[in-house]
Structures are given as structure tokens and as C-alpha cells.
Amino acid sequence: MKNKYKFFRQLDYMDCGPTCLRMVTAFYGKDYSLDFFRANAHIGKNGVSLNGLCQAAEKIGIKTLPVKLSYEQLATEVPLPCILHWNQEHYVVLYDVKEKNLFRKESVLIVADPGHGLVKVDKKVFMRSWASSHDEKGVALLLEPTPEFYDRAEEHKQTPIGFKFLFQYLRPYKRYLVQIFLGMLLGSLISVLFPFLTQSLVDYGIQLQNYNFIHLVLFSQLLLFLGNIGVDMIRNWILLHVNTRLSVSIISNFLTKLMKLPINFFESKNVGDISQRINDHHRIEEFLTGSTLNTLFSMVNLLVFSVVLSTYNISLLGIFFIGSIISVSWVFVFLNRRKNLDYMRFQRLRENQNSIYELITGMQEIKLNNCEQARRWEWERIQAKLFKISVESLSLEQYQEIGANCITQIKNILISYLAAKLVMEQQITLGAMLSISYIIGQMNGPLNQIMNFVKKVQDAKISLDRLGEIHNKPNEELDEEYHMQGGHMDDAEDLDILKLNSLESDTKGIVLNDVSFRYGSSTSPLILKNVSMHIPKGKVTAIVGSSGSGKTTLLKLLLRFYPLSSGQITVDGEDLDQISAKAWRKECGTVMQDGFIFSDTIARNIAVDGQRILESRMKRAIHVANLQDYIKKLPLGFTTRIGNTGAGISGGQRQRLFIARAVYKDPKYMFFDEATSALDANNEKVIMENLDEFFKGKTVVVIAHRLSTVKNADQIVVLHNGEIREVGTHQELTAKKGYYFELVKNQLELGAA
């Protein structure tokens, strides 16, 4: 069944739809990457829609038809494989329907669930998961390849990360690895002397009753034992040094890659997905420095002792290797099941991480709504699933170990019997038999290491598959790489900033030309519709509108959070898409609705760039944000630490910190999204007066509902349902008595004023 039907595991919680598409295309002979389907199906935090799957499939030449049908229609009329909507929240692939007959009492359906595996289910179980209870019908996406599908080149083929990617991390440590290898070789040479000493002790010392020789052999064994301990200690210290540096290097490179990805990548991920991938790096580190080097040492030992055993009797060596091959083969039998359990454990651990994170960060809401028990029960359900997987894993491990140990024991008994027989037939001495027993014991250890190495290789490969999804993603900056060198950006970025600042153009400021944007697929509703506007350079532009009118989305487009669906944005005549996102954001001071407070001092929460804090800038930022009185009351002042969720400070203090952070950058462009919504009237009045002074000469975009925030703007833009309805000053727009007047009257409370 596994050879005929293609199966792939979903790597993330929201990946079931794209993974199902990948299985179907692989069934028809094409292996497209999961990233390709993710991008073209427009995956988001809520997963992917059926319509998104249709668009991704049709882009590569697969004809699609979403339908709702009965089981009879599914079993007799539908071309298979097809994708089914499962349990109202998941997607699976239906490969085959085997109806009941003389040899089969129940109908059997072959289903590929990307979250669990390739399984056979009976009709009753199938209907409970697929069909709705009221009409016994379920949703299916029918797929049929066209000639275009087969003619199309596989330009988006899956390119998994191989072990070559891993071993490049070992290159800087070649000198240490050579020392470790020499230590292993010396340890093996020391170990190989012990069986000869044992044989000499029995055959010459004991039989000839030569006490001086016995003393010499025992003293030699003691010295060799101490030498072996010394070699092991040095090797372990070197390994600790390499392990520590390697661990930091691997995870640091992962975080570096993560930070280069576009912001919309993180909107389809949750905390558990990313944190579990960081844990995957520890398995890779262990594989590189622990399992690989130990196995190398074991293989050297195995080779050396095999040569020694062959000098005693070649038949015994043959029996050892036949038994060893059977033991290793026994381990391989269970690898596929072990792989499935590892994927299931990853999913459960991810859910566990999310659950714990929500319990800690959402404790206030949990207590306010008296849902402690419900949230605890949810966590306990996850633990029950984890326990079930742990039980299955333990059972599998026991089957592997018991089977391998039985085969090893039978092999050892057979070798002991043959060795004893050789002694009785006077073909070898008693000392030689004891020496052979010692050699077999020394060879069994490396054999166990090799069997464990097989498992570690599988673990590392699984982790690499998951990490490959991150490392294969294109960076936000596609054309250049940007590096921080001593706190300064490289020449490429400086050039972009220079171009950004010095470009001469007839139209100064920011210009939006027929900008449209939608989240998700091309059939999703437009959030912004053909927006054209001019944000004058050095002026304050306020954007107002009812909730859901597209104000915040427009601001995120100006900050290059997402690519435009259509249209163009220019800055001083230069296309914003052609300007480095990093360089552009360096010139922007931003206050968002959902700003983040870092677990650090107040000073470092204002000056977040990690550079030396400039006192003059800090004083100005504190003054503009009206934070001086608050900071003076704190016992540690600027060095007071605050939590990563702003623990210990109010909503208004949080907003003032965000304003101070934006002011500290001293940017040329300012973007404020409801920056004063949590402030009291007195603080807002003071801060707005300070900001009016600070805004002079800067290009400012302000989103707000309060009249006090927008009435002094040089230009006010009214958005309604993603379209611009009015543009003008406060006086001009209130005189019109249109959309702005209604907003002012209802939301900005002009009538009350």
C-alpha cells in the first residue's frame, strides 16, 4: 500500500491542506515543494480554505471541482485520489474505496491523513469523520491532472536539506576533531592490549605459577586502565568545548534566518511550531558531536577487535557478524513506525507549548472569566495524548531492544559454546577462550552504539525535514544580504538609505497609486480598493474611518509588512518595493496598536537598537512622551526592569513608552496607529503639543479616532470600506458635512464638544 500511495507528513499545524496537495501531485508523478503550495494556497493563521487549494492546484495544471456529495457518489462516481474536508477542521486524501465482497465483510477506505499516517478505515468510522449528521453528505475537492500538468517543468521541486548542510558546522573545529580521533585511536589501541594480557595471565602466569609475571601483567593492566581514563577525560573536555560552541552556532544561525523572513511568515505560525523547531536543533547537535563521534569510535573499536578475533578463529568472527546483521536488521523493521510516532509527538509537544504559553500569558482573562478549570482540562487532554504516544514509543523501544538483545545473547551463547568446544579439542588454550570472551564483550558495545546511531540518524533526518522548511524559505531581502558590523550596516544598505534620502523628484513624499490589497487568495475580499493618495513630505497626514475600513492595513503596507495585491507605492519618486525593507524601516518611527514590551530596563525598551544609548536623544524622547515624572518615581529610574508583556505598567504608560521609542530613533517618517488611545486627557494634551513640535520637518501618518489627535493635521484622509471618500483639512471636511462630519459627530464627539 505504501509504495502505491504517496504519503507526506504535515510539518505544521496549519499544513494539512498544502500537504494533501503535495501527496496528490506526487501520486501523479510530480514532487512540488510544500512552500509552493503554502504560498499559492494563501495559508494563514486559520489554515487554508478550499478555494485556496483550488487556486494552488489549478496553477500547476490540475483541474478542480469542490463538491458536496453522498458516500455512494464518492465511492462510485468520483475520480480518486481526492481531498476531503475531515472533522470540519482538517484535510485528508482519499486514495481508494474497497467495497465489501465475499472476502471483505465491510467496506474499507484508504485515507492519507497528513497528521497521522496512511490508514485503512471502515465505512462507519469514515462517515463519522467526513459526513455531516443531518444529510449524510460531506465536502470533497475533486482533482484531475490536465496535459498542462505533465508538460509543466518541476521548477518548484522539494529540495530537502541534507546532512551536508549539517557537517558544514563541523568545519571550524577540524583541529579539535583530529585530536578527538587520535584520542579514539589511542583508546582503541590501549583496549586491544587487554585480551592479550588476559591470555598471557592465564596461559603463562597461572599455569606456570609465575608470580612475578602475574604481578607484571596486573600492573600493566592498571597503567593501561589509567591511561585510558586520561584519554577519555581529555576527549570529553574537547567534546564539551565543541558541543557548546556548536550548539550556540546552530541555534544562532537558525534565529538569524528566522529574523530574515518576512513578517507575514509569522502570521501562519504559532509559538509551539517555532519553539519545537529550536528543540530540534538540540537533537541535531547531539547527532553531530555525540552520536556521530561515538559511533566513529565504536566502528574503529569494532574493526580493531574484528581483526584480533580473526587471528583466533575466523569462524567465530563469521558467527558474530551474521548475528550482528540480524540484530541491526531487527532495528530497521521498526524505523517507519518510530518515525510516525516522532511526528505525532512533535504535534502534541507543539500543542503543549501553546497551551502553557496561553495559560501563563492569558492568566488575567482566565481569572476574569472563571475558566481556570476549562483551561486546565484542555492542558490535561493534551497530556493524555502525550502519555498515549509515550506508551506507544516505550512499547516500540522495548520490542526493538528485547528483540536485538535476544539475538545478541543467542549469538554470544553460540560463540561461547564453540570456543569451549575448541578448548576441549585443544585447538585453543583456556587463556585464548577468556580472551575471546573479552573481545566479544568489547565488540557488543560498539554494535549497540551502531544500532543507537541508526535511530539518531533517523531523528536527525526528521528534524532536518522540519528545519528545512525554515532554511529553504526566501528572505525578506531578496537582492542583497545585510550584515551588522560593529553596529553599522554594510555599504549596500548605506547606498539604499542614501538613495532614499537624496533622490530628486517632482513629487516629494509618499504616493499611493491605485493600491489594492487582500489577505489570502485572489478571491478573498479586497481590504483596500484602488487607493490613490499623496502623503506630502514634511507634513502630517491623518487617516480616519470606522473600524474595519482598512486604516491599519494601509499603515502595514506603508511599512512593507505585505506585498501589494496591485498598484504601486513610491517614496520621493522611488518605488517602495525597490528600497530595502531594512533601510526603509530604519528611517521610520512607528507606534502600532499591539506594540511589544521587552523584558529589559526602561532605557533599553526605549533605545532598542542595542547600540550605546545617546543621552540627548533619550532626554528628548522622555520629554516628548511625558515620561519624566513616572521615571522619577521609580527607585531604579531608567534601569527599572519591566516584563516582556509590560507587567507592572499601565496601558497608558505602555503607549508612552512606544511613543518614546519612536521619537528616540529620530526618524524622517513617523507612523502612529492609535498611539494615544489609552492616554488620559491631560497626558494626551501634553504629548500632542510635544509631538506637534517634534513633527516639524517630518513626514507623519497618524491613524486615530480622537478629534484632538487629528484636527491639527495638514491633511485628513477618510477611509470607508477600503476606499478613500474624502480628503481635506478639519475645517474643510466638517464644512462638507459628509463622511468625516458623521465620524466626528459619532466617534470623535465633535457634537459634544
Mean per-residue pLDDT for 323-332? 86
CB 594 within 8 A of CB 561: no
Using alpha carbons, select from 231, 226, 415 the residue that is nearest to residue 305.
415
- Residue 268 predicted with pLDDT over 70: no
- Cα–Cα distance measured from residue 568 to residue 557, given in angstroms and rounded to the nearest whole number: 10
Any idea which residue has 544580504 for its cell? 481
Using alpha carbons, select from 37, 316, 35 the residue that is nearest to residue 195.
316
**3-class DSSP assignment, residue 371:** coil
Per-residue pLDDT band at 330 (split at 50, 70, 90): confident
- From residue 688, give the alpha-carbon distance in Å to each of 173, 350, 625, 680, 694: 57, 44, 9, 12, 10
**3-class DSSP assignment, residue 342:** helix
pTM, full prediction: 0.65
The predicted pLDDT at position 153 comes to 63
Mean per-residue pLDDT for 508-534? 86
**Secondary structure letter of residue 474 according to DSSP:** P
The predicted pLDDT at position 155 comes to 55
User: With b meaning 16 or more CB within 10 Å and e meaning fewer, what string describes 594-633?
Assistant: ebebeeebbbbbbbeeeeeeeeebbebbbbbbbbeebeee
- From residue 581, give the alpha-carbon distance in Å to each of 249, 474, 664: 26, 14, 20
The predicted pLDDT at position 507 comes to 61
Q: Is the link from the previous residue into 81 a cis peptide, with omega within 30 of 0? A: yes
CB 435 within 8 A of CB 195: yes
Per-residue pLDDT band at 554 (split at 50, 70, 90): very high
Mean per-residue pLDDT for 710-733? 89
Q: What digits encode the pLDDT tens for the residues 641-675?
A: 887 655 567 888 888 999 999 999 989 999 998 88
Q: What digits encode the pLDDT tens for the residues 523-546?
A: 678 889 999 999 999 999 999 988
- Cα–Cα distance measured from residue 117 to residue 392, given in angstroms and rounded to the nearest whole number: 15
Dihedral Cα 672, 677, 681, 687, nearest 10 deg: -20
Please provide the average confidence, as pLDDT, over all residues in the chain. Answer: 80
CB 343 within 8 A of CB 434: no
The predicted pLDDT at position 504 comes to 39
Q: Which residues contact 342 (CB under 8 A, 6 or more apart)?
A: 458, 459, 462
C-alpha cell at 129: 469523520
Q: Residue 315 phi/psi, 5° resolution?
A: -65, -40
**In this structure, which long-range contacts are made by residues 294-299, counting pairs with CB atoms below 8 Å and at least 24 apart in sequence?**
294/449, 294/453, 295/449, 295/450, 295/453, 296/181, 296/184, 297/184, 297/187, 297/188, 297/446, 297/449, 298/445, 298/446, 298/447, 298/449, 298/450, 298/453, 299/446, 299/450
Percent of the chain scoring above 90 in pLDDT: 10
Percent of the chain scoring above 70 in pLDDT: 86
- Cα–Cα distance measured from residue 89 to residue 102, given in angstroms and rounded to the nearest whole number: 36
User: With b meaning 16 or more CB within 10 Å and e meaning fewer, what string describes 454-479?
Assistant: bbbbbbbbbbbbbbbbbeebeebbee
Per-residue pLDDT band at 372 (split at 50, 70, 90): confident
Residue 718: other Cβ atoms inside 10 A: 24
CB 297 within 8 A of CB 184: yes
More confident residue, 369 or 272: 369
Query: Which of 75-89, 358-372, 451-465 holds the top average pLDDT?
Result: 75-89
